[in-house]
């Protein structure tokens, strides 16, 4: 019996006004996408193209006419006639406060230049909460040979949990535990990773924006003071292990692979790998063959 497959109605275009400019956007896309279409820079900390929006950081909030509160640009869909302000005093205030609150409680020193740019742009002064401000500072967790977890750097963006769960890995080795300011990323009863369900795919490392999750190789080099990104090259290749065809980016310093990533926009991986592609590079640099 043949039957048609319903693929959904064709997407309509809607007109929205962003900062006074009328733009056409595809129905079902987000305000953030529309902003990016206009080259409006929007701070985002918990959003990533390859993950479901969780809209928790609130760095991307914008003002939408008719809404009592600000709305997250990363998850709110455009609607016909929507009027959006992305740079009002109200928006700037909340963005600044979000950045200040995070930077006052979390070690954000390893966040990329983009985050530092936002800090400057919004005039964030995390020190103004005073020296007694509570932080999430805690010892680094080193419980396996492949990667370390430094939750003093965790902004609780939920990305690692999503990557470990239905958005990529489906292993569910980590989750958000506790609540309020005590909320944190944890395995069950905070057991060490080798005791947990973790399969060391490293997809959580791939999405972590703060350096809280880090290759052990990178961590050791940073500790030794030898980590130097200016001395690193990136070589693109295809993972040699199986036939899927995952693209690897080998980060190489001093002729050694120091970490492995995959591009977020790659059609096969969407940035995600398995333990072999992510960590199985020791053989490449093994000197044993030639000995």
Determine the Cα–Cα distance for residues 178 and 187; give it in Å rounded to an integer.
Answer: 12
Chain residues that interact with other proteins, rule: CB under 8 A:
55-59, 61, 69-70, 72, 75-76, 90, 93-94, 97-98, 101-102, 104-105, 128-130, 132-134, 155-156, 165, 170-183, 186-189, 191, 195-197
Task: Give the nearer residue to ligand FES in terms of CB position, either 116 or 141.
Answer: 116
Task: Looking at residues 59 to 118 of the shown chain, list those that interact with ligand FES (rule: CB under 6 A).
Answer: 59-60, 72, 74
| Choices 118-126, 135-143, 202-210, 254-262 (CB under 6 A): range interacting with ligand SF4 | 202-210
- Structure token digits, residue 137: 């500072």
Q: Which does 200 bind (CB under 5 to 8 A by kind): other proteins, ligand FES, ligand SF4, none?
A: ligand SF4
49's torsion region: left (phi>0), alpha (psi -120 to 50) or beta? alpha
Strands of 160-209 (E only): list them. Answer: 175-177, 184-186
Which secondary structure element, helix H or strand E, spans residue 278, and what is its range? helix 275-279
In sequence order, what are the residues at sequence separation of 6 or more whose Cβ sits closer than 8 angstroms to the Cβ of residue 51?
A: 159, 162, 163, 167, 207
- Structure token digits, residue 55: 């809209």
Task: Give the nearer residue to ligand SF4 in terms of CB position, either 122 or 158.
Answer: 158
- Structure token digits, residue 234: 């990136």
Strands of the chain (E only): list them. Answer: 13-18, 21-26, 61-64, 71-72, 83-85, 147-149, 175-177, 184-186, 213-215, 232-238, 247-253, 256-261
Spell out, one character per residue from 159 to 198, where the chain touches ligand SF4: x when CB under 6 A holds, - when not: xx--xx----x-x-xx----------x------------x
Task: Give the nearer residue to other proteins in terms of CB position, either 18 or 186.
Answer: 186
* Residue 34 touches ligand SF4, criterion: CB under 6 A: no
What's the min distance (Å) between Cβ of 84 and ligand FES?
14
- Interface residues with ligand FES (CB under 6 A) are 44-47, 55-60, 72, 74
Interface residues toward ligand SF4, by CB under 6 A: 154-160, 163-164, 169, 171, 173-174, 185, 198-204, 207-210, 212-213
């Amino acid at each position: 019996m043949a039957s048609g497959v319903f693929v959904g109605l064709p997407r309509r275009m809607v007109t929205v006004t962003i900062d006074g400019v009328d733009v056409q956007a595809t129905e079902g896309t987000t305000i953030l996408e529309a902003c990016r279409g206009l080259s409006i820079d929007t701070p985002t900390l918990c959003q990533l193209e390859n993950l479901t929006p969780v809209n928790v950081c609130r760095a991307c909030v914008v003002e939408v006419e008719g809404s009592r509160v600000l709305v997250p640009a990363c998850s709110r869909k455009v609607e016909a006639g929507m009027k959006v302000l992305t740079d009002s005093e109200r928006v700037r205030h909340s963005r600044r406060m979000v950045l200040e609150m995070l930077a006052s409680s979390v070690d954000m020193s390893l966040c990329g230049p983009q985050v530092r740019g936002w800090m400057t742009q919004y005039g964030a002064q995390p020190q103004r909460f005073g020296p007694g401000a509570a932080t999430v500072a805690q010892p680094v967790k080193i419980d396996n040979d492949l990667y370390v977890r430094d939750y003093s750097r965790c902004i609780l963006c939920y990305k690692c949990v999503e990557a470990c769960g239905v958005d990529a890995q489906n292993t569910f080795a980590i989750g958000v535990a506790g609540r309020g300011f005590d909320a944190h990323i944890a395995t069950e009863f905070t057991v060490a990773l080798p005791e947990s369900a973790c399969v060391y795919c490293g997809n959580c490392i791939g999405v972590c924006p703060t350096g809280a999750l880090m290759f052990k190789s990178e961590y050791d080099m940073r500790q030794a003071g030898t980590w130097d990104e200016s001395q690193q090259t990136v070589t693109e290749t295809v993972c040699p292990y199986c036939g899927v065809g995952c693209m690897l980016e080998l980060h190489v310093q001093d002729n050694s692979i120091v970490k492995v990533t995959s591009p977020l926009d790659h059609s096969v991986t969407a940035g995600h790998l398995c333990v072999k592609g992510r960590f199985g590079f020791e053989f490449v640099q093994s000197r044993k063959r030639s000995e």
